[in-house]
Chain A
Amino acid sequence: MSSVDPIFYRMQALLGNRSGASPFDLLIFSVLLGGIFLYLHIRRNNLGRLDRNSIPLVIGGWGSRGKSGTERLKAALFNSMGRSLLSKTTGCEPVLLYGPNFGPLVEIPLHRPYEKATIWEQLDVLHLAAKAKVDVFLWECMGLDPGYVQLMQKDWMRDDISTITNTYPDHEDIQGPSGIDVARSISSFIAPGSKIITAETVMYPLLDRQCKRLGASLERPTASDLNCITEEVLGRFPYSEHPLNIAVVLALAKKMGVSQDYALKEMADRIKPDIGVLKVFPKACFEGQTLEFSNGFSANEKFGCLSNWQRLGLDQLELDQHPRIWLTALVNNREDRVTRSHAFAQLLTHDIDFDEFYLVGTNREGFERFYHQSVSELIRSVNLKTRDQALIVLLDFAKRLRIPHNASIHSRRTLGLPETNAISQSFEIWSSLLHAIESQNSAPSSQQANRIRKFLKDQFYKKLVLLPKDTTPQELLQRICSNTPQGFENKVHGMQNIKGLGIKWIELWEELSLQDPEQVTQVEKDRIVSQKPNMTGTDKQIPGERSLKNLRAKFKSFCRPNSEAFHALKIRSIYRDFASGKISAEIAGLQIRTIQESMSG
């Protein structure tokens, strides 16, 4: 003790008196601090290693698209095998799926302090799985940076088997810039000597090369696996699961000695779907309009969104076959995903045809700017140099903009509508432009070309419906209904992001789908009327009320850091109790959800 005392007194003097510190004091202080830091890291890593070694089977999953769906399928598969499991999956909300031996799967929310994910979370969940003594630990890799992914996979998890759903170009700002760079980044998930199952096709050579380099084995679902996933098999799932995700898990099931039929049936029966899955909700009648909503919010990159659009057959709804269908895209934009906004603005102008699109979420003005830019680029690129080319452009854009391209389609589409309606107006202008070009033998004059360009641009601009930031789902529903032409069936497809209004909108549809269509009309009408929608975006509150609201919000944000820490401690103790078996998974899930709800107010 005597040797420690002088150092202790020196430290006390150093802390108490800023001018009294010598370089030696600083050295001691730095060494101590560094030592503590190093000790904590070594301890945590060692603990992680012990935890990993205590779990018999660890299966990880990564990829650009379909990670969460695949993890949930895997959880359902192992649950059907009677194995206890803990699965960490994110999807729309971070969730732990716990399945005891021969018991049903239970969802427990995964708490993230300040809603920020860190890779330390992986060790915490691994520790929880080890404490709960599960047979199987399933985890979805949420890292994007290849360095972090390698740390998680090669140092911490060392998967027995891993799945890579695909390597579609996404998150190019971190994994890109090109498609091949994204695939290279994702290939960092391959651990030496591991077993990899993938459904990737176009970048398969790259994954294959990496596996050979690391001595890992690479497997793809067989043709037979893929053929067997027919419509009736897909129909057994409570949502539209992607056949390739199912095929990946089927390949895993084969490795586990489970037959295809058993795996398919039991997965479909036991799966706990994520709120963001691709799903077509039952049609709902509202204010005399029939609406059908399909949730594609989770497909937040171009290829995924396009593939959803095609899978749902929305690309097949051409006017001559379906004149009374109104196609609506619902875009939920996010301010922290600028690249994504740009990609979706291009997608809306170049790749999909629709009648109208609603823009909600944050940074809508930014998205609108991207959309206008994209429209301008597209219109600038059209070739109007010859008569034939001008005709091709007009016919092609009539299809893209869903303008009736002949009188018969026009009359079928506008049947029962008032004489002056937007569809007829567009058709008349388009027809006059087409006739003018048809009746001449020469190339369009510059004036005509400008008129065509202006018309096309206006048509694209008219499709955009910009809604205020604080739009509620009920207000959105009412707006969509009022904009749908009378007697049309409106197919609404949600895309880009689910957070915020997206989740609330889905909850509304979940509620609608539980009720009888006849009743929905009245119930929802009442609810909307009682909520007094504010579609103009202007705040109609009186000044005193507004300042009180502001004060309350300020106070809440001031208290938030402290309450967040307090709640985090409480949630941690719930996890501890669950792992030690003091409380059941159901109770743990319920308690955490209650705390999270109280935190979000």
Chain B
Amino acid sequence: MTVSAKNSIDFIARGKGALVADIPNIPTHAILSLPQALTGTVEQDAAPKKALLELNNWLDKLLIAERDSVFTRDEFDTILSILRHSGEPILKQKALSLCYQTLKTFGQPSYATDLRSYTQTLMATPRANLWEISGTLLIAGLLEPTAVLQNYCAQTIEASYFDKDGFFLRAQILEHAKTEPSILQALMETGYTLLFDRSAYVRIRALELLQLRSSPEECVVRLQKGDAHPKVQATLLQQLSSNLFRNPYLSPSLKSAFFAPSSQWENVALEMFLQKFNEDAIQAMDQGPAFTNAWRDDTKEILDHIAGQNDEGLKRLAALSLIQLELLMDDKLLRKFNKLRSTLKSSATGHSRISSAEWNDDLPYLLSVLAYSSDGFEIEEAKNMRIIRPAFHFGFSAWRFFYELFHLSTSKRQGAAHWVSRKLKGSIRIPSSLGCELVKTAVPGEPLYLTEAGGWRPFLPLLCDLYRMLFRQKIIHIYTPDGCTKVGRPQSFGGRFKAWIYLNLHFDEWSELRNWTHRSSSNPYDYIKRLRGLGYQITFTGRRSEAIEDLSIERFFREESGVTHVER
């Protein structure tokens, strides 16, 4: 039903410093004034409103109370009175919800006949309230035989008198199907028509039911044909993700429905699928290996398919999904990952140490899974150990000081340190994919979200990091799910000094090159080209050797991949 056991009265009662139990049991005066509330005297007389308020609180109290018996006759009469006389949808909803809960828990009490006659009258009323019909249908699920229920369902699905709100009613039926098996059964008998409803909203809600039950063949065939609505596609794919992790008994036909129409999927849908897949994968890692081997090849195929799409954002997400898939399929790697995760979680400061013996090439990639939606990590090499810490440090930077000095403005924030920039402490950096600006601000060099890239391209080193490393690290490694970017500083002291001067003078201009888009007048390679010109050695190595050459990354590191064709 629509109103769950815990609701606003919890907050209200707690806020008043009172107990829900303090609410009067049956407000008789409220029931007496209920019909008046419907006769149009509400504006003049505050009493009916007060009555409604009291009834509302009383219903809330009953809803959240843990009952050990059915209603008394008085209580039931009050509820029936609310159903018959109240015009307030929320009161009716709560009353119906109460009836359903009690019937469900204690079977059919003696007053079920009254309730049944009420539901029958209501279902025969052509223009009843939307919420009333929805609630009544749920009660009918308990009281009526299957044939009658099927008839009610069909009647409600066909109901045209709700006009623009009809889709809410159909969605409510689906909501009820989640809790009431008889309604689900009635819906299945009508052939899952709501999966192909004219409303995308209803289709999405219908798809949510798929994780509960496998569906008939006919429905699967229709699903395979695909749905043009991107949000419906996204839901279908997200259901796939949930099923991959939680439902090893999913029917093969439904599985094939999920995988088959991959070529027709919209990028938005694929992006939403990958996001859900990544969330589910992280949860699955917590709960142990629930992911079955049977899914492995299909899933890898679908992820490879997405990684091959001509969309930069999708490629980045797919790269993360592929790492997670590998993790899920490899027990040894998964144990290592979980150990690393618990070490980082248990540390109060977020810092943790790993002995050099334990360190291997997999670890940065495992960390890149954790870094994806956190602040990121940086790793410092110390004696016989590596220190992992969150990558979120800011400190004094000469370039920023000079930049602000030469760009004075009264519109700058007062009392803020305008000379600080991002600090890099370790020689290994595992950046977050989030934590960037959505639009460019007055501070140059900050990671900027680029819509066409679906992120800030963490595989490209930030100018800030390159500036910082000049007199600190010889080499830094930047690990992302796509691969590793290795940056070496200019070798001679003179070269480093020259680079320092150049970066101080041209920081904003050069950092702008990093944010290349198709609208830019520069080339994608210009950023790395200029840095190489200063003596930096920058290379990128893809993580997957079998992966096809990814031009969305290569174009930033190789001149020939950045050539744009003239099209007219």
Contact = CB atoms under 8 A, between A and B. Distances in A.
Interface of A: 55-58, 78, 80-84, 100-103, 135-136, 160-161, 168-169, 172-182, 201-206, 208-209, 223-224, 227-228, 230-233, 236, 256-262, 264-266, 301-303, 306, 338-339, 343, 350, 381-383, 388, 391-393, 395-396, 405-406
Interface residues of B, number: 79
B180 interface: no
B91 A82 contact: yes
Nearest to B526: A383
Contact of A388 (B167, B172, B392, B566): B566
B550 interface: no
B23 interface: no
A231 B434 CA distance: 28
Nearest to A269: B165
A169 B439 contact: yes
B374 interface: yes
B499 to A, nearest CB: 23
A204 B279 CA distance: 14
B132 to A, nearest CB: 12
23 contacts: A56-B16, A81-B8, A82-B53, A173-B411, A177-B441, A177-B443, A180-B437, A203-B434, A223-B279, A227-B238, A228-B201, A230-B229, A230-B231, A232-B167, A236-B164, A257-B7, A257-B63, A259-B172, A262-B2, A262-B131, A302-B439, A338-B411, A350-B519
Contacts of A84: 53
Interface stretch (B149-157, B290-298, B323-331, B412-420): B412-420
B373 A205 contact: yes
B12 A83 contact: yes
Nearest to A266: B89
Interface string B274-287: 01100100000000
A81 B11 contact: no
B436 interface: yes
A181 B50 CA distance: 48
B413 A175 contact: yes
Contact of B49 (A102, A180, A202, A266): A102
B3 A257 contact: yes
Contacts of A227: 204, 231, 234-235, 238, 272
A62 B279 CA distance: 27
A232 B56 CA distance: 31
B312 interface: no
Contacts of A306: 439
Given A102-B88, A174-B413, A135 B12 contact: yes
Contact of A205 (B165, B432, B442): B432
Interface string B391-424: 0100000000000000000011100101000000
Residue of B4, B11, B52 contacting most chain A CB atoms (<10 Å): B11
Contacts of B435: 180, 202-203, 205-206
Contact of B201 (A135, A136, A201, A232): A232
Interface string B161-190: 000110110011001000000000000000
B438 A176 contact: no
Given A178-B441, A206-B375, A223-B234, 5 more contacts: A174-B413, A176-B412, A201-B434, A202-B436, A261-B172
A192 to B, nearest CB: 17
Given A81-B90, A223-B276, A232 B5 contact: no
Contact of A178 (B1, B374, B437, B567): B437
A100 B522 CA distance: 60
B15 interface: yes
Nearest to A393: B521
Contacts of B3: 257-259
Contacts of A58: 15
Contacts of A230: 199-201, 204, 229, 231
Top 7 nearest A-B pairs (CB, nearest first) are A56-B15, A257-B7, A179-B437, A259-B2, A178-B443, A257-B4, A101-B53
Nearest to B410: A338
Interface in B1-59: 1-8, 11-16, 42, 49-50, 52-53, 56
Contact of A256 (B7, B200, B522, B564): B7
A80 to B, nearest CB: 6
Given A160-B15, A176-B416, A396-B519, A256 B8 contact: yes
B449 to A, nearest CB: 6
Given A55-B15, A205-B374, A177 B442 contact: yes
A145 to B, nearest CB: 10
B52 A102 contact: yes
Contact of B413 (A135, A173, A233, A302): A173
Contact of B12 (A56, A208, A233, A393): A56
Given A179-B438, A228-B201, A230-B231, A223 B238 contact: yes
A57 B13 CA distance: 9
Contact of B446 (A78, A180, A256): A180
Contacts of B374: 205, 208
Contacts of A173: 411-413
B14 A392 contact: no
A257 B56 CA distance: 14
A201 B567 CA distance: 36
B434 A202 contact: yes
Given A172-B442, A227-B238, A261 B171 contact: yes
A134 B316 CA distance: 49
Interface string B421-455: 00000000000101111110111001001000000
B130 interface: yes
B168 A82 contact: no
B78 interface: no
A168 B441 CA distance: 11
Interface in B460-513: none
Contacts of B56: 82, 101-102
A260 B208 CA distance: 14
Contacts of A339: 411
Nearest to B59: A82
B44 to A, nearest CB: 11
A81 B375 CA distance: 39
Contact of B568 (A56, A209, A233, A395): A395
Contacts of A233: 201
Residue of B63, B88, B276, B566 contacting most chain A CB atoms (<10 Å): B566
A388 B566 CA distance: 7
Contacts of A172: 413, 441-442
Contacts of A303: 438-439
Contacts of B167: 232
A175 B415 CA distance: 11
Contact of B200 (A81, A135, A231, A262): A231
Contact of A259 (B11, B175, B201, B437): B175
B568 A405 contact: yes
Nearest to B518: A396
B93 interface: yes
B61 interface: no
Contacts of A135: 12
A353 to B, nearest CB: 10
